[in-house]
């Protein structure tokens, strides 16, 4: 296969961006890795975006079209590599990392017909994509929520913090449920320890094993 990739999924505080950075570092340091790498952060694929100071939420159809366009780009790049003929992974192979993609869509539009997102997932799987669902243990939920913007949570009542933790864990369960229905092979990774470099090495090794 000329292409392989990782799709990072998880709730907002699960560590997707930290792990994405670690995977980028590891890939850059690996002399045997692909020379061509495509890394798209969540701003290129998520449903809710901050646009000129205001939050804009995409409709289901708009988001499906956005995901199709990103997958279409990867397909075109892979087709070009195939046309060039046999090659080593390092010379012409393609490695991609996507942040917040198909599972994010499934959870946001859980009541919709899954046929269209299933088609996108089948394309991702055909491109060698493996999904990594980042999760945490319930006992670290409060710490993880507060870690992003500590000042924002200072002085907040306990019931408000507790509600935020419950919502986080509920979203996590929804992601797990949707991952079981997805056409993209998914492995769950606990990020309690925030050991991003170690997790990045483990994930890339697992992706290689499943090729």
- Show Cβ contacts of residue 2 under 8 Å, excluding neighbours closer than 6 positions: 78, 81, 82, 87, 92, 93, 94
Q: How many domains does the chain divide into?
A: 1
Structural domain of 160: 3-209
The SS3 assignment for 112 reads: coil
What CATH number does the domain containing 54 carry?
3.40.50.300
Count the neighbouring beta carbons within 10 Å of the beta carbon of residue 36: 17
Task: Return per-residue pLDDT of the chain as tens, 211 residues.
Answer: 578 999 999 998 899 999 999 999 998 888 888 888 999 999 999 898 767 777 789 999 999 999 999 999 999 998 888 887 766 555 557 899 999 999 999 999 999 999 999 999 999 999 999 999 999 999 999 999 888 777 888 878 888 989 999 999 999 999 999 999 999 999 999 999 999 999 999 999 888 775 5
Q: Which residues pair with 9 in a beta bridge?
A: 133
The span from the first CA to the last CA of the chain, in angstroms, equals 8
């Amino acid at each position: 296969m000329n292409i392989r990739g990782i799709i990072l999924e998880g709730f907002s505080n699960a560590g997707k961006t930290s792990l994405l950075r670690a995977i980028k570092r590891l890939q850059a340091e690996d002399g045997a890795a692909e020379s061509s790498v495509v890394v798209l952060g969540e701003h290129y694929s998520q449903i809710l975006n901050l646009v000129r100071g205001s939050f804009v939420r995409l409709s289901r159809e708009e988001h499906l079209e956005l995901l199709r366009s990103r997958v279409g780009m990867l397909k075109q790049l892979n087709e070009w590599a195939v046309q060039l003929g046999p090659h080593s992974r390092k010379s012409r192979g393609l490695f991609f990392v996507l942040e917040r993609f198909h599972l994010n869509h499934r959870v946001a539009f859980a009541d919709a017909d899954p046929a269209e997102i299933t088609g996108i997932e089948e394309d991702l799987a055909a491109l060698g994509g493996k999904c990594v669902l980042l999760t945490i243990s319930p006992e670290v939920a409060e710490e993880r929520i507060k870690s992003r913007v500590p000042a924002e949570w200072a002085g907040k009542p306990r019931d408000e913090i507790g509600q935020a933790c419950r919502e986080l864990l509920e979203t996590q369960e929804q992601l797990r449920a949707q991952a079981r229905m997805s056409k993209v092979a998914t492995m769950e990774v606990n990020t309690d320890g925030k050991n991003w470099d170690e997790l990045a090495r483990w994930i890339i090794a697992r992706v290689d094993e499943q090729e």
